[in-house]
A and B are shown apart, each in its own frame.
Chain A
């Protein structure tokens, strides 16, 4: 394993009494696409701003390439940031915006111009080079902002919710542009977002933050299939979460008594203690649906409350007899075969190995 590019060691950031980031430890590796995700106020933007030197950590150490960065001024770093507001300079043309960083680094005029035009071409907006920035569309501005940062040839690019102002179609297009760029350039991207779809679509690794702390770090698949704790399971949103007391155990599984019924789940050895509390999650797309009672270990009967379509995938929202909410994801054509209507009674079932036991709180 090579030395990480960035290390956060025991980093804290307070604003007066408000704790933005507490006790953060994190490694960021060369060439990876890392997404930091969380709801607003979770500390993700503060983390990014500390990387750019716009905030100094209250305590702890941040190193980039092994060098301690705590007191290094923003302009002495090589950490260009793509801003949520884009922060393009309104009185400059697109090309002058891209040239700005080079000018500050003392690159001579012709070289500046050549490199700026090269990047504008690469971002497919070369024809707008001399247009005033205020006359460009949202997507074009986005590309100028990217070019302005990447023309600096940084080892790491920071992105703070860069797509939040774009409409849905453009977001998908820009995601493809960003992923391709990151692969081509081979540099590290640190991408802050509140959008799960953006993070999961692009990132190699995802950091989920909550109230100033890291809740889980892992690949999108890890986080989706094996949420570390209840917060992550709920945050990811496509999980059915059930909690109860362990009533019996076998060599690999436990039986858990919950208000919705008794269920069997594969559990690690340290969680297989009779009488202890246990919470597990089941991914909504790993739940099967049938009209007749299935012959399965884990099953529960529910009422259909509502359905939500996104493309050809449908999410059913259901409720068990005790009022617990369940979610099931399936293809639309499978739903049509079931012929449901609101209020229909159906059975849900899942395999014990698809129940993922969560860490206690």
Chain B
């Protein structure tokens, strides 16, 4: 018994070590963003907000932030719409080639980003759509739609399958039932989907870098700074990106999980 306790303690310490490894870069980035040393090490330098001041003064960063905002919001709307359509089709209908149909939407995240980036660049150039913010949005919608689809599909699983038919039975056409029953029921998942797809799009750098041309988003700016030199500005920007993404993810969780608990009670 005693041996078992000891083993448990060792295992839990090991778990903590793994978590330390995973979270070390995130925490250090946060710490370094307030550290005066250009090349941070131990012992730490003085507390400073110099790097934040620098990025706030940089018009390129502001422009990139604006671009990122446009891209992630548009991507979220587009991807969640596509995800919703697919989730509903999967929920409601059985049809031939449904397997390939679902594969079509679920496959993109498993393809290495660098390959997607190259393929997108070549294809969008060919269509004359590259080098614009729109190019990033098109590519990101393909990449993130599966996330929205998965969340909305899970929500539809919780729906009493008779609910939609009950609406028809009470005089709603299929379109009215969609508007008055399906969409309100899925609303929390739709909001979660919007948040998650926005978060994924907000962090994506490979495709954005390839297809964006001169319209840089925040991750592309980070990539370019990192390529140049050691510059703790990256940590300051990174902290902002982190806070934005986490807000979106936590919002997604709140909407999805709280509703799940509610619908089970």
Contacts and interface: CB of A to CB of B under 8 A. Distances in A.
Judge A-B direct contact (beta carbons within 8 Å): yes
Interface of A: 52-54, 73-75, 79-81, 83-85, 87-91, 100-101, 103-105, 134, 148-149, 152
Contact of A87 (B162, B174, B184): B162
A74 B184 contact: no
Contact of B169 (A54, A105, A134): A54
B165 A87 contact: yes
A151 to B, nearest CB: 9
Contacts of A89: 163, 166-167, 181
Contact of A83 (B162, B173, B263, B265): B162
A333 B165 CA distance: 51
A87 B185 contact: no
B169 A80 contact: yes
Contacts of A90: 185, 263
A354 B166 CA distance: 47
B183 to A, nearest CB: 10
A87 B171 contact: no
Contacts of A83: 162, 166
B171 A81 contact: no
Q: Give the contact-size bracket for chain B.
A: 20 to 34
A104 B176 contact: yes
B162 A85 contact: yes
Nearest to A158: B169
Nearest to A134: B265
B184 A104 contact: no
Interface in B147-163: 160, 162-163
Instruction: Tell me whether chain B's interface is mostly helix, strand or loop, or mixed.
Output: helix
A169 B50 CA distance: 75
A281 B24 CA distance: 83
Given A83-B162, A85-B162, A134-B265, A91 B170 contact: no
Nearest to B265: A134
Given A54-B165, A85-B160, A100-B180, A75 B173 contact: yes
Contacts of B262: 134
A350 to B, nearest CB: 47
A81 B181 contact: no
A75 B185 contact: no
Contact of B168 (A73, A105, A148): A73
B215 interface: no
B122 to A, nearest CB: 46
Given A87-B165, A91-B184, A152 B170 contact: yes
B67 interface: no
11 contacts: A54-B165, A54-B169, A74-B168, A75-B171, A80-B170, A85-B162, A89-B167, A91-B185, A91-B187, A100-B167, A134-B263
Which 7 pairs between the two chains have the least Cβ-Cβ distance?
A101-B170, A87-B166, A104-B171, A87-B162, A74-B168, A104-B172, A75-B168
Given A90-B185, A90-B263, A100-B180, A54 B160 contact: no
Interface in B30-74: none
A53 B174 CA distance: 13
Contacts of B173: 73, 75
Contact of A81 (B166, B172, B180, B187): B166
A26 B263 CA distance: 41
A54 B171 CA distance: 12
Contacts of B170: 75, 80, 100-101, 104, 148-149, 152
Interface string B182-201: 00110100000000000000
Contacts of B181: 89
A52 B163 CA distance: 14
A87 B160 contact: yes
A163 B163 CA distance: 18
B200 to A, nearest CB: 28
Given A89-B181, A134-B265, A101 B165 contact: no
B168 A87 contact: no
A105 B181 CA distance: 16
A284 B187 CA distance: 57
Contacts of A105: 171
A53 B180 CA distance: 20
Nearest to A145: B166
A152 B166 CA distance: 13
Contact of A74 (B165, B185, B265): B165
A101 B171 contact: yes
A134 B265 CA distance: 8
A83 B168 CA distance: 13
A89 B167 CA distance: 9
Contacts of A134: 262-263, 265
B45 to A, nearest CB: 55
Nearest to B259: A91
Contacts of B176: 75, 104
Given A87-B160, A90-B263, A134-B262, A75 B166 contact: no
A114 B180 CA distance: 21
Given A87-B162, A89-B181, A90-B185, A52 B169 contact: yes
Contacts of B180: 100, 103-104
A79 B169 CA distance: 7
A343 B166 CA distance: 55
